[in-house]
């Protein structure tokens, strides 16, 4: 059932589903980025998406987040086909209910950390005076309470990543779509970010997270693997105790032996 606890017209996203979606890009040779993918995100579920580079992970995330539309198949949010929504309804859904953490951060270079985090609040009619306070709270939550007035180029890669996560939380989204949110972080910061995602999951939000790291993916309830744009398998890992930070994916294979990272 959709969340209605925050009053107003907020209804949450409920169940989010891709049904038999395909997406082909035409740049010279057609690229079949996704082929007949069906995936349901139950409300409050935590799903990790793995797969080689170019397998369609970001494409799937963009479709589920209503940033892109499929060539075939449908995206359904709370039982409604996104294709049937007006442009304004779709924009509102994106702005209010969905929080994105992009693979490339997409921070506004001329705005400070606090201003970047405040930006999405415009969609939610948060008055100016409250925006900074909420931005401060969110940045404190990701450990950047002392970097409010830094511009992105005055922050480290990991700090930018954390600003992007704080921004994704600006409107208390019911659906969080995160594309490699720990991809640029050292293992300690990565763990902190994952603790944050665990909290968000515990709060009842629906989370879809792309990652190349098996031990990160195992913190989700299930792992979806894409290969060549097709859904290869869905594993239930809700009972799996995450392994150490050993990379089992095809990329970023560790070059040094396990350095005693702890269990």
Ligand X SMILES: Nc1ncnc2c1ncn2[C@@H]1O[C@H](COP(=O)(O)OP(=O)(O)OP(=O)(O)O)[C@@H](O)[C@H]1O
Instruction: Choose between 57 and 134: whose C-beta lies nearer to ligand X.
Output: 57
Is position 159 an interface residue for Mg ion (rule: CB under 5 A)? no
Give Cα separations from 54 to 41, 51, 183, 251 (angstroms). Answer: 22, 8, 16, 12
Contact present, 191 and 245 (Cβ < 8 Å): no
Instruction: Choose between 57 and 162: whose C-beta lies nearer to Mg ion.
Output: 57
Instruction: Choose between 56 and 73: whose C-beta lies nearer to ligand X.
Output: 56
Closest CA to 182 of 117, 242, 133: 242
Q: How far is the CB of 157 from ligand X (least distance, A)?
A: 16
Is position 58 an interface residue for Mg ion (rule: CB under 5 A)? yes
Q: How far is the CB of 255 from ligand X (least distance, A)?
A: 20
Closest CA to 82 of 73, 1, 12: 73
41, two tokens: 């995100």
Instruction: Choose between 45 and 55: whose C-beta lies nearer to ligand X.
Output: 55
Q: Which does 54 bind (CB under 5 to 8 A by kind): Mg ion, ligand X, none?
A: ligand X
User: In the complex, which residues of this chain contact ligand X (CB under 6 A)?
Assistant: 25, 27, 31, 33, 51, 53-59, 103
Give the Cα separation of 145 and 241 in Å (integer).
Answer: 32
What residues make contact with Mg ion under the rule CB under 5 A?
57-58
């Amino acid at each position: 059932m959709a969340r209605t606890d925050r009053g107003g017209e907020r209804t949450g996203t409920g169940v989010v589903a891709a049904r038999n979606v395909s997406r082909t890009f035409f740049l010279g040779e057609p690229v079949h980025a996704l082929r007949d993918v069906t995936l349901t995100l139950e409300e409050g579920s935590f799903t990790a998406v793995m797969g080689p580079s170019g397998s369609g992970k970001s494409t799937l995330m963009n479709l589920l987040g209503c940033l892109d539309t499929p060539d075939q198949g449908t995206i359904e949010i709370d039982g409604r086909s996104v294709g049937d929504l007006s442009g304004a309804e779709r924009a509102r859904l994106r702005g209010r209910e969905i929080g994105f953490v992009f693979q490339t951060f997409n921070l506004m270079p001329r705005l400070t950390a606090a201003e970047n985090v405040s930006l999405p609040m415009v969609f939610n009619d948060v008055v100016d005076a409250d925006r900074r306070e909420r931005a401060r709270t969110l940045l404190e939550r990701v450990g950047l309470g002392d970097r409010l007035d830094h511009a992105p180029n005055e922050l480290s890669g990991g700090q930018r990543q954390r600003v992007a996560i704080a921004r994704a939380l600006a409107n208390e989204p019911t659906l969080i779509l995160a594309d490699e949110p720990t991809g640029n972080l050292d293992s300690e910061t990565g763990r902190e970010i994952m603790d944050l995602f665990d909290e968000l999951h515990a709060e009842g939000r629906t989370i879809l997270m792309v990652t190349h790291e098996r031990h990160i993916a195992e913190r989700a309830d299930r792992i979806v693997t894409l290969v060549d744009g097709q859904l290869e398998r869905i594993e239930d890992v809700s009972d799996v105790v995450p392994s150490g930070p050993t990379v089992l994916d095809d990329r970023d294979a560790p070059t040094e032996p396990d350095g005693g990272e702890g269990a």
